[in-house]
Amino acid sequence: MLDDAVATQDTVTQLVAAIRRVIRDAPGGEKTATAWCTVHDYTDPGKPRIAWNDEQARAALVDALVTDALNLLGRLPERQLDEKAADAVGLPALVAGQDVEVADDSDGRDGRWRIARGTAHDRMVSTVAPQARHIHKNRTRHQDGFRAHGAFEPETGLLTEVELTAGSGKENHEAAVAEVLLADESEDLTVLGDTAYGTGDLREALETAGRTKALGRPDPTGARTAQFKKLCHHCPLQEQCTRSKTGRTFQVHSHYDRLKAARRQAADPNWKAEYRRWRPPVERAMAWLTARGNREAPYRGVLKNNTWLHNRAAALNLRRLINLGLTHTDHTWPLAPTTT
């Protein structure tokens, strides 16, 4: 997880910045804004001046900013847009779509808006860096930026492949699960229909004890959850099933089958031995990649930062090769093992 190089923006800042960009980059934007955008002086680099501790004032400002954005977009002169102008025109709609919804007492036709409750999936965090995303590594650690993926050859200590992607999206969830698996060697649960059961003897015992639980409705990502919780209290199988003091929570998601297969693989003693042998050098390589202030991606956007990541990986590999004995002889570069 790499931090982005810009500050995260709240909804008001994003709306104001998106309108400013249309004014600056879209043909006829400045003239249209002068006539139809009245809630704020968009030449002022600061935020609108309101009582920010007044909830009604904040709601009224968001409603007015969205109205300004709609007026601006709806009254721009019709003409062919180049890529820069098209991106600018699309930005206010994107910001409004992710952060704003119709007011509680509105039917959606009277043009009244408020900040949306909750956080939109794949939310853009800044109009300055529109490809940066809000990333959750686990339930407690989160940041804004990008994901760096790497493949490493542990015997030589060389990075064989790297790639930088946006922080979220379905193409960015190929994370390793081995570390979690070693901490959870209990028997897995099986899902039949809408009910979660234990496997083997654990399943039979749970069924006999009446400890089965229906899966809940799918969440926005399609995951379904069974919360055993109180059913785990005083259960003779609790130590085999979960370390949670509040009881087991079991989730079925799109990677359920892969995770279950990985748990079975991780139970193999040979697999554990290989994992414990090779994990330290791999972790060391990832530490090299982000050392000396390189936890933050230095540029805006995926393309430039991906180029930077490849250059950094190449430099680290060159340093590693020199440490392995790379020398220049005539017109060749032989790799002679060092004596130290």
Alpha carbon of 25 to those of 81, 89, 159, 203, 285: distances in Å?
A: 10, 9, 41, 63, 43
Claim to verify: residue 105 and residue 233 sit in the same structural domain: no
Domain contains 79:
yes
Average pLDDT, stretch 317-337?
Answer: 84
CA distance 106 to 99: 17
Claim to verify: residue 274 and residue 153 sit in the same structural domain: yes
pLDDT band at 33 (very low <50, low <70, confident <90, very high): confident
Least confident of 179-183, 244-248, 297-301: 179-183
Please check the confidence at residue 198 and state whether its pLDDT lies above 90: no
Claim to verify: residue 155 and residue 258 sit in the same structural domain: no
Chain position carrying tokens 């990986």: 313
* Domain final residue, candidates 235, 264, 293: 264
> What would the two tokens of residue 115 be?
């900040």
Domain contains 120:
no
Average pLDDT, stretch 279-289?
Answer: 87
Claim to verify: residue 111 and residue 171 sit in the same structural domain: no
Domain that holds residue 203: 186-264
User: Residues 243-256: pLDDT tens digits?
Assistant: 788 887 777 777 77
Chain position carrying tokens 């031995």: 273
CA distance 1 to 179: 17
Residue 335 CB-density burial (10 A; 0-12 exposed, 13-18 middle, 19+ buried) = exposed
Q: Residue 170: what pLDDT? A: 56
Please check the confidence at residue 112 and state whether its pLDDT lies above 50: yes
pLDDT band at 171 (very low <50, low <70, confident <90, very high): low
Query: Are 308 and 299 in contact, with CB atoms under 8 Å apart?
Result: yes
Claim to verify: residue 53 and residue 164 sit in the same structural domain: no
pLDDT band at 160 (very low <50, low <70, confident <90, very high): very high
Average pLDDT, stretch 64-71?
Answer: 84
Residue, of 183 and 35, whose pLDDT is higher: 35
In 3D space, the residue among 144, 225, 133 whose CA is nearest the CA of residue 171 turns out to be: 133
Average pLDDT, stretch 233-246?
Answer: 76
Q: Residue 337: what pLDDT? A: 65
CA distance 227 to 231: 9
Domain contains 128:
no
pLDDT band at 108 (very low <50, low <70, confident <90, very high): low
Domain contains 331:
no
Q: Residue 185: what pLDDT? A: 36
Q: Residue 310: what pLDDT? A: 95
Claim to verify: residue 168 and residue 274 sit in the same structural domain: yes
Domain contains 303:
yes
Domain contains 340:
no
Claim to verify: residue 161 and residue 226 sit in the same structural domain: no
Calculate the average pLDDT of the chain: 76
Domain contains 132:
no
Claim to verify: residue 161 and residue 235 sit in the same structural domain: no
Q: Residue 109: what pLDDT? A: 62
Number of domains in the chain: 3
Least confident of 118-122, 159-163, 286-290: 118-122
In 3D space, the residue among 170, 149, 180 whose CA is nearest the CA of residue 260 turns out to be: 180
Claim to verify: residue 47 and residue 153 sit in the same structural domain: no
The pTM (predicted TM-score) of the whole model is 0.62
* Domain final residue, candidates 75, 94, 115: 115
Claim to verify: residue 90 and residue 7 sit in the same structural domain: yes
Please check the confidence at residue 40 and state whether its pLDDT lies above 80: yes
Please check the confidence at residue 61 and state whether its pLDDT lies above 90: no
Claim to verify: residue 292 and residue 309 sit in the same structural domain: yes
Residue, of 200 and 295, whose pLDDT is higher: 295
User: Residues 256-280: pLDDT tens digits?
Assistant: 778 778 888 888 999 999 999 988 8
Q: Residue 169: what pLDDT? A: 61
Max mean pLDDT among 41-55, 112-126, 176-190 falls in 41-55
Please check the confidence at residue 184 and state whether its pLDDT lies above 50: no
Average pLDDT, stretch 149-177?
Answer: 75
Domain contains 222:
yes
Claim to verify: residue 159 and residue 274 sit in the same structural domain: yes
